[in-house]
Amino acid sequence: MIQNEREIRHESVLQAVRQMMTAARTAPKGKGVDIIELAMVTDEEIKRLSDEMLIIAEEKGLKFFLRDADNILQAEAILLLGTRQQLQGLNCGHCGFSTCADKPEVVPCALNSVDLGIAVGSACAMAADLRLDTRVMFSAGLAAQRLGILGDCKCVMAIPVSASSKNPFFDRKPKTT
């Protein structure tokens, strides 16, 4: 049997993103509480995400959303990582409020955000080990959050993934219209 890399690349990328999901899941969590949600987006769902980013660009006037919306269309898959909001009850003050009871509901628990950051780092480390093209994008994450792809997650990040001769997620030109 002969397998040409070009013919199996897509499935290889999908398997790699699954490994990135495992790396994110097994990343350390504050107090051992796992409130991280993960999903892989492919095909028409990438287009749906891009379309939502265009809507956000129009609403907020953020031109980099236009660039990123176009850019994610070059991804073979996108890993979404999000965190549900859950107080950890430490009264640590890291969120800016002296106790968890003083913290307004709209302000995230700092441990939730730290856990998400560690999960993103673990997923990116796996991608680097596998020599994948990636970029962490909060823009695509915000679009996924608005679409409810990860349910009730209040903070979502996206990692578009590609395996190409040149990383399409760097050296990007800004969109002007």
Whether residue 56 lies inside any domain: the answer is yes
Total number of domains constituting the chain:
1
Whether residue 11 lies inside any domain: the answer is yes
Which residues constitute the domain of residue 108? 5-162
130-174, pLDDT tens digit by residue?
999 999 999 999 999 999 999 999 899 999 999 988 888 887 677
CATH of the domain at 19: 3.40.109.10
Q: How confident is the model at residue 176 (pLDDT cuts 50, 70, 90)?
A: low
Q: Is pLDDT of 175 > 80?
A: no
Whether residue 35 lies inside any domain: the answer is yes
Tokens, residue 7: 């013919």
Q: How confident is the model at residue 177 (pLDDT cuts 50, 70, 90)?
A: low
pTM for this prediction: 0.92
102-124, pLDDT tens digit by residue?
999 889 899 999 999 999 999 99
Residue with structure tokens 């504050």?
30
Whether residue 14 lies inside any domain: the answer is yes
Total Cβ atoms within 10 A of residue 81:
30
84-96, pLDDT tens digit by residue?
988 888 999 999 9
3-state secondary structure of 35: coil
Total Cβ atoms within 10 A of residue 124:
19
66-88, pLDDT tens digit by residue?
999 999 999 999 999 999 988 88
The answer to whether residues 108 and 145 touch, using CB atoms and an 8 Å cutoff, is no
